[in-house]
Structures are given as C-alpha cells and as structure tokens.
C-alpha cells in the first residue's frame, strides 16, 4: 500500500528539522530530507537557521565593518553602512521566517493535514513567489487531496524555478505513480536518479521497483530494489517486506532472498 511507504519515510526523516523532514508517503512519503544530505545546489533542503547562526560568508557580510579613518564624508559613509546592515539583517529575518512557515507546511503534510499544509505553503508563496520549495510541498499535498492537475501544476512550477531540485522531481514521479501513470512515472524516476542526492536517488530506485512489482515483473523489481537496498539496507528491506506493491512478486525466490532480514 503506497500510503504506508509514505508514512514510514516520514518517521525516518526526522533528523533534519526537528523531525520535520523526509517523504515517500503513499507507502513512501516524499519528504526526504531524511539522510541529512545537505548540498550546495537547489536539491538540498534547508532546515532553517537562526539569524544569529548564519553561514560564514553571510555572517561576515552582516558583521560590522572595520572602522576607517574619518574624512569629510566619514559620518555619511558610516550612516550608509549602518543602514545597509539594517536592511540586510531585515532580509535575513524575513527569509528565516518564510523558511519556518515552509517547514510548518511540511510538518502538516507529514500529519496528513493536507488542506492546512496547502494553506501554510500559500502564505509562503504570497510573500515570496519564487520560493520553489513551497510550490513543491503544496503540489504533492494537492495530489494527495485528489487534485491531481492542480498539484502537478504546482510541482512543475517548483521545477521551472529550480530545474535540478531533486525533491520536486521525485514528487512528480510519485504523483504520476499515485494516479496510475506508470510509464510516465518510470521515465521521471529515471531522470531524477542522475541529479538526485542520496535520499531521493534511493527512493527513486524504490519507486521504479514498486511499479515493476505491481506488474509482476520479478526481474526488474529485484534489479531496482537491490539498488535501493544498497543505499540503506536495513530500512529499505524493512519497508519492502510489507510493501503491498510487491504482492505479485512476493513469493518469488529472488524477492524473498533480497528482502530477508540480515
């Protein structure tokens, strides 16, 4: 049952934002910020930091500049510098606040409170129309609410802003899978794997295996499930052993050997 996979991933993802990240929920929740794989590209998820705990470059940018010998324009220069720092600090606070609102929306999604999650992400989007992560969570929440077209449109919006955002690309495959568009879902999962961080690469392999499992294709199920298991043996085996998507292949020797407890 896909819903189960989603729930389990939520539990394993706790670790990024006080337990508010991770996902592959139809049996695999798609919140994936699960393995704490922070990267420098748009694919990595930010868990929000206090303005007082900023990365080095930004902290340096906001720190007071060393005083220079004053000239005739010294007072004006100092005032301008103070104003600039004030503006920068304000922007950081706004961004931090938006990120907290975004994480709230994800948390609500994890709790299956889809309408509340959508409303939370809409508040982020209203203030910051380019906040692609909010479109992503809003989109998958809409899909789980039965609003496929609207949800896919929101996920596509996230991808249009951040083309290499692996979480959104995974969610696109997940939404297609959820609504039975298996060939399209397979294509999207395959396209996600080369650009994905560890977590989304793993669940993309798992998603591919799950689709082949529904089709009763033992060879391809085992092929792709093996790749997912290699990335997190204990957890993926545990999920796969009770995954209803594998019911048609469950009794095969190859599948049993692959998922048996080590």
pLDDT tens sequence across 152-161:
999 999 999 9
On the question of pLDDT at 34 being above 80, the answer is no
Residue 57 has a pLDDT of 42
Mean of the per-residue pLDDT values of the chain? 80
| 88 compared with 177, residue with greater pLDDT | 177
pLDDT value of residue 69? 55
Name the 3-class secondary structure at 182.
Answer: helix
Q: Supply the pTM of this predicted model.
A: 0.71
pLDDT tens digit sequence for 53-82: 333 444 444 445 455 555 556 677 777 777
pLDDT of 254 > 90? The answer is yes
The answer to whether residue 189 sits within a structural domain is: yes
pLDDT of 136 reads 98
Question: Does 41 fall in a domain?
Answer: no
Q: Is residue 107 part of a domain?
A: yes
Percent of the chain with pLDDT over 90: 62
Kindly give, in sequence order, each residue whose CB lies less than 8 Å from that of residue 244, ignoring residues fewer than 6 positions away: 1, 2, 4, 27
pLDDT of residue 82: 77
Q: Return the higher-pLDDT residue of 19 and 161.
A: 161
Average pLDDT of the residues in 15-34: 41
Long-range contact set of residues 238-244: C-beta below 8 Å, sequence gap at least 24: 238/8, 239/5, 239/8, 239/9, 239/27, 239/28, 239/206, 240/206, 240/209, 242/4, 243/1, 243/4, 243/5, 243/27, 243/210, 243/213, 244/1, 244/2, 244/4, 244/27
User: Does residue 42 fall inside a structural domain?
Assistant: no
Average pLDDT over every residue of 24-44: 42
**Residues in CB range of 211: below 8 A, 6 or more apart:** 177, 182, 185, 186, 245
Cβ–Cβ under 8 Å, residues 121 and 113: no
Q: What are phi and psi of 239, to 5 degrees?
A: -70, -45
Q: Is the pLDDT of residue 113 over 90?
A: yes
Residue 242 lies in a domain: yes
The answer to whether residue 190 is domain-embedded is yes
Q: Do 65 and 42 touch, CB atoms closer than 8 A?
A: no
Q: Work out the pLDDT band at 183, boundaries 50, 70, 90.
A: very high
Q: Is 241 part of any domain?
A: yes
CATH for 237: 1.25.40.10
Residue 217 clears pLDDT 60, i.e. is over it: yes
Mean pLDDT of 11-15: 37
Residues of the chain above pLDDT 70, percent: 72
Residue 230 above 90 pLDDT? Answer: yes
- Structure confidence at residue 2 (pLDDT): 53
Count of the separate structural domains present in the chain: 1
Domain containing 191 equals 2-36+47-65+75-259
Measure the CA–CA gap between 16 and 224, rounded to whole angstroms.
27
Residue 159: predicted pLDDT: 99
Q: Which residue has the higher pLDDT, 193 or 261?
A: 193
Q: What is the pLDDT of residue 150?
A: 99
Distance CA 256, CA 128 (A): 49
């Amino acid at each position: 049952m896909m819903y189960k996979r989603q729930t389990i991933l939520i539990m394993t993802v706790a670790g990024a934002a006080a337990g508010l990240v991770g996902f592959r929920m139809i049996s695999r929740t798609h919140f994936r910020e699960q393995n704490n794989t922070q990267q420098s590209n748009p694919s990595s998820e930010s868990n929000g930091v206090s303005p007082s705990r900023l990365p080095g470059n930004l902290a340096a940018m906001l720190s007071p500049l060393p005083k220079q010998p004053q000239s005739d324009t010294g007072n004006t220069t100092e005032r301008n510098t103070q104003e600039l720092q004030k503006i920068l600090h304000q922007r950081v606070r706004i961004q931090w606040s938006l990120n907290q609102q975004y994480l709230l929306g994800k948390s609500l999604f994890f709790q299956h409170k889809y309408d509340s999650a959508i409303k939370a992400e809409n508040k982020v989007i209203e203030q910051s129309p380019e906040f692609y992560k909010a479109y992503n969570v809003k989109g998958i929440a809409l899909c789980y609410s039965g609003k496929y077209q609207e949800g896919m449109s929101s996920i596509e919006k996230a991808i249009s802003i951040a083309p290499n955002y692996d979480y959104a690309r995974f969610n696109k495959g997940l939404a297609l899978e959820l609504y039975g568009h298996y060939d399209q879902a397979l294509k999207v999962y395959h396209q996600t794997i080369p650009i994905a961080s560890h977590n989304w690469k793993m669940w993309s392999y798992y998603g591919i295996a799950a689709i082949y499992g529904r089709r009763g294709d033992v060879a391809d199920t085992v092929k792709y499930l093996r790749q997912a298991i290699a990335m997190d043996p204990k957890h993926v085996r545990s999920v796969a052993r009770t995954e209803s998507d594998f019911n048609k292949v469950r009794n095969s020797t190859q599948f049993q050997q692959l998922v048996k407890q080590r």
